[in-house]
Amino acid sequence: MTPAEPDLRASDAERERTVTQLREHFGSGRISEEEFDERSDAAYAARTVSELRALVADLPALPAAAPRPGHDPDRESAKRRVLQNAGASAIAVVACVAIWLATGMAGSFWPIWVILGTGVRVAFVAWSELGPGAAEQRRVGRGSASRPGADRRDRR
């Protein structure tokens, strides 16, 4: 930090990160339980980033977390997209059923068409995101091949 640069205020996330680092150092035996308690209390009370840095300044940097075996971040992202699509569809279905109920359940159960339509959509998205061949599509990258005119932009 340069003398002209004011010290930045610490966020709750930065405080939590510092306490997590302290917990790792405590687990490794670098600091005692009393020291961990003191430093974590100070981390939660810290107002600036420099106060948080001072709490771990005498401790070595922690190694980066190794990726878990079998963990595929692209697949996790695909699962989130499928769940988001399913959630949006569920909201539409609930709204249609509520309208049907509010209108006195007149006529046949017309929301079944919304349920069928959104169900087909969710199944299609799930198949394209998580089905066989989806991992290869993610690896190759859908972006440039599926966008019209992408080849013209790529040649520039």
The number of domains in the chain is 2
Range 123-151 burial, b when 16+ CB lie within 10 A, else e = eebbeebeeeebeebeeeeeeeeeeeeee
Is the pTM higher than 0.75? The answer reads no
User: pLDDT-derived band of residue 153, with 50, 70 and 90 as boundaries?
Assistant: very low
- Note whether 82 and 50 are same-domain residues: no
CA angle 70, 71, 72 (to 5 degrees): 110
Listed residue (113, 114, 92, 95) closest to 103, CA to CA: 95
Q: Name the one residue in this structure whose structure tokens are 């988001």.
A: 84
- Residue type for position 143: G
Q: What pLDDT shows up at residue 18? A: 93
Classify residue 4: in a domain, yes or no.
Answer: no
- Note whether 51 and 84 are same-domain residues: no
- Note whether 82 and 133 are same-domain residues: yes
Question: Is a pLDDT exceeding 80 seen at residue 109?
Answer: yes
- Note whether 77 and 130 are same-domain residues: yes
Concatenated DSSP letters for 128-150? HHHSTTHHHHHHH-SHHHHSTTH
- Note whether 42 and 95 are same-domain residues: no
Classify residue 42: in a domain, yes or no.
Answer: yes
- Note whether 124 and 85 are same-domain residues: yes
- Note whether 90 and 43 are same-domain residues: no
Range of the domain at 115: 73-144
- φ, ψ for residue 81 (rounded to 5)? -65, -40
Q: What's the rounded mean pLDDT across residues 87-113?
A: 93
Report pLDDT digits (tens) over 17-45.
Answer: 999 999 999 998 999 999 999 999 999 99
Classify residue 67: in a domain, yes or no.
Answer: no
What distance in Å separates the CA atoms of residue 81 and residue 28, rounded to the nearest whole number?
38
Classify residue 6: in a domain, yes or no.
Answer: no
Question: Is a pLDDT exceeding 60 seen at residue 58?
Answer: yes
